[in-house]
Amino acid sequence: MKQSVSLTVNGRPVETTVEPRLSLADFLRLELRLTATHLGCEHGVCGACTVLIDGEPARSCIALTVSLSDAQITTLEGLADDPAMQVIKQAFHDKHGLQCGFCTSGMLISTRDLLKRTPNPSENTVRNGLSGNLCRCTGYQGIVRAVLKAAEDLAAS
């Protein structure tokens, strides 16, 4: 049986009814057509579906939409005008931080949060901080370089 829930997605209030088993990831992709959020493993391991719930990164594949009453959801689309995200995207572009791009949305959101909490990270901090995001192209060298460059660029801006 569907149940009502009201939440905010990328600043837009959404009032809807959902099946309790509907994940936030499926809700974003299938109902709101916000397809920047990708689904990899669908059990909280790969990090591709990472979004911000009330400003904090969370796995949208293991968040139930029905439980997110009054929550503020931000997806990569909602960060299009975010100054930090623009710097991070450019760094991923410059340092070959993506190959197929499947993991990139989650990588970008995790990177933004990591650099917010640790503005001047060591390589080790970056590797640990992004350990919850898997890249099946194994393009980690480029990703780590991109994050380190983003940190430098953010500090300079």
Partner 1 sequence: MKPAPFSYYRATSVEDAIAALSGADGMAAVLAGGQSLVPMLNLRLSPVDHLIDLRPIAALSRQEETPEAICYGALTTHAAFEDGAVPDGTNGLMRYAASHIAYRAVRNRGTLGGALALADPAADWLTTAVALDASVTLTGPDGQRYLAITDFVVGPYYTQIAEHEIIDSVVVPRRSATERWGYYKVAPKVGEYAKSLAVALVDSEKASARLVIGAWSDVPLVLEASAIALLDGAKKNDLTMVVQNELDLKMPSLSPAERRLHTATAVRAAEQTRS
By CB under 8 A, name the binding residues for partner 1.
1, 3, 19-21, 23, 26, 41-45, 47, 50, 53, 56-59, 61-64, 66-67, 69, 110, 113-114, 127-129, 131-133
Span between the terminal Cα atoms of the chain, in Å: 50
- Count of other CB atoms within 10 angstroms of residue 43: 9
Give the nearest distance from C-beta 129 to partner 1 in angstroms. 7
Nearer to partner 1, 82 or 94 (CB): 82
**Two tokens at 32?**
């709101």
Distance separating alpha carbons of residues 41 and 46, to the nearest angstrom: 6
Q: How far is the CB of 87 from partner 1 (least distance, A)?
A: 20
How buried is 47 (Cβ within 10 angstroms: 0-12 exposed, 13-18 middle, 19+ buried)?
buried
Beta strands 56-59 and 72-74, pairing class:
unpaired
Least distance to partner 1, CB of residue 112, Å: 12
Q: Which is nearer to partner 1, 4 or 120 (CB)?
A: 4
Q: Which is nearer to partner 1, 50 or 104 (CB)?
A: 50
Tell me the pairing of strands 72-74 and 50-53: antiparallel
CB of 127 to partner 1, least distance (A): 8
